[in-house]
Structure 1
Amino acid sequence: MKTTALAVLIGLSASTLFAQSADRGNPVLKRCQLSLLPENLIEISANKAGILERLNVREGSLAKEGAVIAKLDDVEPQMQLRVAKQKEDAAAFRATDKVEQEYAEAARDAAQADLDDLRSANSGPIERVVPITELRAKELELVRSQLQIKKAIKDRQLAITEWRVAKVETEAAEMEITRRVVKAPYSGQVVELYRKQGEWVDPGEPILQYARYDVLRCDGYVSLEQYDPREVDGCEVSIEVEVSQGRIEKAKGRIVYVEQLARDPGDFNYRVVAEIPNYEDRGRWALFPGLEATMTIHLGTANQNMSSRIEGSRP
């Protein structure tokens, strides 16, 4: 698995990480670290084995959610799709064809009319004009035509079932093609390419590393002696980041995690993590993972519904 230098461990003393006003105002944490959320740095893999027919990105490329990043060779599944569609068309024709049923119904009506005429002839002044054997033959013909109707209806029902199966086969063939298309799971940027166009890839083999920058995390340390973790948890924060050439970027977020661990014996402090929504500036993200920030925690603004309060949640 590939790793990235964006994840930075912090081990600085509390004296350099926070400053406090004389009247115990809001905590101001120095040298906080901006980084990607762990779930926002992923490796995108191929779902199927095949030749990487097309690679639409390079390192540093920006991609919108749903954009086609890469495509594997799909000649074989395309042929399977053509066969499946032909089967579906044939099944649809059989399922909608009512000729057999209509012919059986016409034969029944004719047999019924003939039988009625013969019975009428025998009910006249002259008895048994039509022999009983002929009547039985006409009755049998009527029964046969009625059974043919039932058979035609059942054949159509079976044809409808076959049509449904053919539709599923078509969908399966289309899915095989779709699984050979690699799309961006969300708007982000290509960090590193692992494979080149024209190379063979196996299922689950990473093609590239992909990052999402719309939300960053900001790690800092708070003095345990001066601020109770319970008054910090869930509070709003504001940060200032010096990006380049003295340009200062500002953003707001919220504390989502307070570590249940005291660090630096003798000058105890605890780690807090805030999530900071990033924003675009002239086509680029304003905040960069890896930069240091000054974070101010605004006490009394805690949101009781923060995800950090959900059992089992971690940054």
Structure 2
Amino acid sequence: MRISTALVAAIGMSCLAIEAARAQDQVSRIDVEDPITKFTELATFSTERGGILEEVPAEGDWIAADELVIRLKSDAARAALKVAEQRAMNEGEILVAEKASESAWLEYRAAVEANRLSPDPNDPAYPETHIARLKLAAESADAQVVQAKEQRRDFELQRDQAKTELESYEVKSRFGGFVTRLLRHQGEGVQQGEPIVEVVNTSVIRVEGHVKVADAYLLRTGMKVHVAAEVPQEEGDPKIIEADGVLGYIDIRVKTFEDVKVWAEIRNESGLLKEGMEGSMYVLLKDAEPSTTKE
């Protein structure tokens, strides 16, 4: 009787799961191998157009979320926006067209009323062709009102376009962080898409490492983790920084050396944890919520 490779693999994985379940009653934590710190929320900012740098931060500056990071010289764009805003606010042509329409209809109605009051219906004050011309003139005046309003809407669209154009001269950060690299400086010319400023959010740091395959079956995202990192000192023993967090990821793949990648995110408000620091990390099993498996 021949047993398929898939069946053998399935049996092997089931055995690992059973072994892990038994081990859970014997251990309270899983140590993570070779943990290392890494910042994950970082961005290198550039502009969507070329120009001259008018404003950039300095290295080490803190940039809040939605705060300006880069501004290009935009004098011409600002002037264009002011002109567009003035045109969009101008109601003069609409008012003139509306008054012209009122006047045309008034003249038409007066002529019609004069003909109605004429003593001799066969001898009206105004011929029918004149009445028709007055009506056409009034309708044309109405069309001028519509045209003036359409033109104003066009001016409003031009204003919005000019505003969007001006906004393209500025870049804002989508998250808070420190400026870690300044690649170009105020007054320099830059091209579209050219890297200018790098910002890193240091308030949260990721700690990555690996666990054995059997241990991975005991882990669930959301479990509490404890991290300890060493900070070298000029004299004496290194300073130990300890922090708690939660397990955020368990890899679905098994690596070459039969281990599984995991990581947790740790609050780093003090900024003491730096990228590339080594230390220790373990996952607390007793604090995990029981998981429910649906078949």
Counterparts of 2:244 and 2:28, CA distance in 1: 20
Q: How many residue pairs were aligned? A: 261
Counterparts of 1:170 and 1:230, CA distance in 2: 60
Counterparts of 2:48 and 2:255, CA distance in 1: 44
Counterparts of 2:243 and 2:263, CA distance in 1: 17
Counterparts of 1:256 and 1:96, CA distance in 2: 65
Aligned to 1:67: 67
Q: Does 1:239 align with 2:238?
A: no
Counterparts of 1:235 and 1:298, CA distance in 2: 10
Report if aligned partners of 2:230, 2:241 keep a CA contact under 8 Å in 1: yes
Match of 1:288 among 269, 274, 285: 274
> One-letter code of the match for 2:219?
V
- Deviation at residue 100 of structure 1 after TM alignment: 0.8
Report if aligned partners of 1:249, 1:286 keep a CA contact under 8 Å in 2: no
Report if aligned partners of 2:30, 2:282 keep a CA contact under 8 Å in 1: yes
Q: Does 1:207 align with 2:196?
A: yes
Deviations 1:156-184 (CA, angstroms, capped at 9, x unpaired): 11111111111111111122221112222
Deviations 1:173-232 (CA, angstroms, capped at 9, x unpaired): 1222211122222111111111011100011111111112233221111122x42x3432
> One-letter code of the match for 1:116?
R
User: In structure 2, do the counterparts of structure 1 residues 138 and 231 end up closer, same or farther at CA, with 3 Å as the change threshold?
Assistant: farther
> One-letter code of the match for 1:99?
K
Aligned to 2:10: none
Tell me the percent identity: 21
Match of 2:245 among 241, 245, 252: 252
- Deviation at residue 102 of structure 1 after TM alignment: 1.0
Aligned to 2:116: 116
> One-letter code of the match for 1:25?
S
> One-letter code of the match for 2:120?
N
Which portions of structure 1, spanning 4 or more consecutive aligned residues, are displaced by more than 6 angstroms?
A: none
> One-letter code of the match for 1:165?
D
Aligned to 1:27: 30
Q: Please, which runs of 5 or more residues in structure 2 have no aligned partner?
A: 1-22, 232-237
What is the correspondence of 1:34-183 to structure 2 with a 5 Å cutoff? 34-37=37-40, 40-55=41-56, 57-90=57-90, 92-97=91-96, 98-118=98-118, 121-122=119-120, 131=123, 134=124, 137-183=126-172
Q: Does 1:271 align with 2:261?
A: yes
- Deviation at residue 142 of structure 1 after TM alignment: 2.9
Report if aligned partners of 1:234, 1:302 keep a CA contact under 8 Å in 2: no
Counterpart secondary structure, 2:140? helix
Report if aligned partners of 1:59, 1:193 keep a CA contact under 8 Å in 2: yes
State the TM-score, normalized to the length of structure 1: 0.74
Report if aligned partners of 1:232, 1:302 keep a CA contact under 8 Å in 2: no
> One-letter code of the match for 2:66?
G
Deviations 1:208-263 (CA, angstroms, capped at 9, x unpaired): 11112233221111122x42x34324241322233646353312122323150233
- Deviation at residue 53 of structure 1 after TM alignment: 1.6
Comparing 78-87 with 179-188, which one deviates more in the overlay?
78-87
- Deviation at residue 270 of structure 1 after TM alignment: 1.9
Counterpart secondary structure, 1:288? coil
Q: Please, which runs of 5 or more residues in structure 1 have no aligned partner?
A: 1-19, 305-315
Q: Alpha carbon RMSD of aligned pairs, Å?
A: 2.6
- Deviation at residue 31 of structure 1 after TM alignment: 4.1
Report if aligned partners of 1:48, 1:179 keep a CA contact under 8 Å in 2: yes
Deviations 1:104-156 (CA, angstroms, capped at 9, x unpaired): 121122112101111xx126xxxx5xx3xx45x34333333322222122111
Deviations 1:87-114 (CA, angstroms, capped at 9, x unpaired): 3344x32234411111012112211210
State the TM-score, normalized to the length of structure 2: 0.78
